[in-house]
Amino acid sequence: MSTETTHDDHHGPARGLSRWVFTTNHKDIGTLYLLFSLLMFIVGGAMAMVIRAELFQPGLQFVEPQFFNSMTTMHALIMIFGAVMPGFVGLANWLVPMMIGAPDMALPRMNNWSFWILPFAFTMLLSTLFMDGGAPAGGWTMYPPLVMQTGNAFPFLIFSVHLMGISSIMGAINIVVTIVNMRAPGMTLMKMPLFVWTWLITAYLLIAVMPVLAGSVTMLLTDRYFGTSFFDAAGGGDPVMFQHIFWFFGHPEVYIMILPAFGIVSQIIPTFARKRLFGYSSMVYATSSIAFLSFIVWAHHMFTVGMPLTGELFFMYATMMIAVPTGVKVFNWVSTMWKGSMTFETPMLFAVGFVVMFTIGGFSGLMLAITPVDFQYHDTYFVVAHFHYVLVTGAVFSLMAAAYYWMPKWTGNMYDEKLGKLHFWLSTIFVNVLFFPQHFLGLAGMPRRIPDYSTQFTEFNQISSIGGFAFGLTQLLFVYIVYKTIKGGEKATDRVWEGAEGLEWTLSSPPPYHSFTTAPEVK
């Protein structure tokens, strides 16, 4: 009898809250990750609204400078570790097993853990907002000696970063093991969908650099509480060393946030261009090259610390070299669209928007890579504009594209196409109103991370703030669209899109709770 009960458990989800708390199902965990990511996107976005409200006018209007600095710091930590990374991990959980014909992730129990650590990590981080001395305000990069001035929030900051790191490492190990060992017969490496490829490489990057972040924040912790002097000059340490170690993690981290986006776009564009992806193998090699190069360019974040000429030159050329594989990718996407019979459903709109606007961010990155020019741009709004183009119109737009593209598969319901298009156009218009003027602010010399500014920057800041509020509001529309799609809507077909290729489209919409329990044959 008891075996009978256990047997039943394997067929459908448990009911109620315990389904979500104890689940080991990759689809459930994927959903949890994605919803968590959306929640953090709203929380981090609300902080950005505080920043833009304060910067609407010169002078101090709404918040204290200390709180303003907390907002920039927390906004970055939450968006990077809470919104973008869990968003991609959620997609990997949902899609990797379905794309390679595996029944589930390789380590389902660990999968549950790697998700459920995150709410604790972010509760800890967000609780610092209510502590003596305020939330961390020294910037998400946690540079000493400034970060040492953090009040009671300091250990909470360090341990929440540790938890995020542990979660990412476990998630990454799970993804690598799944992809390496659990592909369906016939699914050779070079037949894998590009999303799986980019995630495989991303997971390796995570495994390599998250321990580096963990180590560097551990050093901060011991410097503060246990009398070590890793970064304290008085005891023979060196604060610049933190910057080297941090960016040795930080630069690969940047690619952790964009490689899965490349994968998503490489899935979507062929579908709506109704052509095979142009240059599949060159895409794989380009992704690997970007991953390799990410380890030897870290010091371009710190050109102004006083490096010798040879160092500056090496990091400048190495950085510029990244434009080559990235260019290969952009040209491949364009070539895929070339002479395709294209249609522009919402996912395609976001994907094409990604290609155009990510490239703008790429070009401003090239400008920043030029050492002598970087001396002027360093720590100005030009840098802010650059990384928001690659992260918002890059990573976040790809997440939106992915949500629209696969949501009919996940829920079985089509999203509202009209609202989806409206969401895209409002987002695209206002994200440019928001971030494009910041290029000009940076070139004119406005420093980042300040609550007040010189009056000549007022107009561009006002334009930027208006764009910011409108972009923020538009995202509430996205929340509504997601809600509406989950609730119901026109039933989606199994293949959903006319031009969709891949194993996940051979399953029903929504897919059964346990899919590919017998491996499919891949020809």
121 in Cβ contact with 166 (< 8 Å): no
Binding mask 153-182 for another protein (x = CB under 8 A): ----------------x---x--xx--xxx
Cβ contacts of 312 within 8 Å, gap of 6 or more: 303, 371
Contacts (CB under 8 A) with another protein, residues 294-323: 306-308, 311
Contacts (CB under 8 A) with another protein, residues 491-510: none
Q: How far apart are CA 259 and CA 197, in angstroms?
A: 9
217 C-beta neighbours (distance < 10 Å), count: 22
Q: How far apart are CA 521 and CA 523, in angstroms?
A: 6
Residue from 77, 98, 214, 318 in contact with another protein (CB under 8 A):
214
Q: How far apart are CA 44 and CA 306, in angstroms?
A: 34
Backbone dihedral region of 321: left (phi > 0), alpha (psi from -120 to 50 degrees) or beta? alpha
> Per rule CB under 8 A, is residue 373 in the interface with another protein?
no
Which is catalytic among the residues 28, 54, 223, 253? 253
> Per rule CB under 8 A, is residue 472 in the interface with another protein?
no
Residue count, binding to another protein (CB under 8 A): 37
> Per rule CB under 8 A, is residue 216 in the interface with another protein?
yes
Q: How far apart are CA 231 and CA 240, in angstroms?
A: 8
Residue from 205, 212, 254, 273 in contact with another protein (CB under 8 A):
212
Q: How far apart are CA 172 and CA 114, in angstroms?
A: 10
User: Is there a catalytic annotation at residue 423?
Assistant: no
Which is catalytic among the residues 183, 275, 301, 439? 301
User: Is there a catalytic annotation at residue 168?
Assistant: yes
Which of the 8 DSSP states describes residue 509?
S
Q: State in angstroms the smallest separation of the CB of 305 from another protein.
A: 9
Choose the stretch contacting another protein; rule: CB under 8 A; options: 237-245, 409-417, 419-427, 491-499. 237-245
- Residue closer to another protein by CB (options 248, 505) is 248
**Distance from chain centroid for Cα 48:** 16
User: Is there a catalytic annotation at residue 178?
Assistant: no
Which is catalytic among the residues 26, 329, 378, 388? 329
- Residue closer to another protein by CB (options 105, 254) is 105
User: Is there a catalytic annotation at residue 281?
Assistant: no
DSSP assignments along 416-477, one per residue: -HHHHHHHHHHHHHHHHHHHHHHHHHHHTTPBSS-S---GGGHHHHHHHHHHHHHHHHHHHH
Q: Which of 317, 187, 340, 322 is nearest to 262 (CA)?
A: 322
479 C-beta neighbours (distance < 10 Å), count: 13
Q: How far apart are CA 93 and CA 12, in angstroms?
A: 18
Residue from 107, 273, 392, 400 in contact with another protein (CB under 8 A):
107
Which is catalytic among the residues 26, 52, 75, 423? 75
Choose the stretch contacting another protein; rule: CB under 8 A; options: 1-9, 86-94, 228-236, 269-277. 228-236
Residue from 232, 416, 494, 501 in contact with another protein (CB under 8 A):
232
User: Is there a catalytic annotation at residue 251?
Assistant: yes
Binding mask 438-467 for another protein (x = CB under 8 A): ------------------------------
Residue from 209, 258, 273, 283 in contact with another protein (CB under 8 A):
209
User: Is there a catalytic annotation at residue 329?
Assistant: yes
**CA angle, corner 47, sides to 46 and 48, nearest 5?**
90
User: Is there a catalytic annotation at residue 183?
Assistant: no
- Point out the residues that are catalytic: 75, 104, 140, 167-168, 251, 253, 255, 266, 300-301, 326, 329, 448
- Judged by the rule CB under 8 A, the positions of this chain that interact with another protein are 106-107, 169, 173, 176-177, 180-182, 207-212, 214-216, 219, 227, 229-230, 232-236, 238, 240-241, 244-245, 248, 306-308, 311
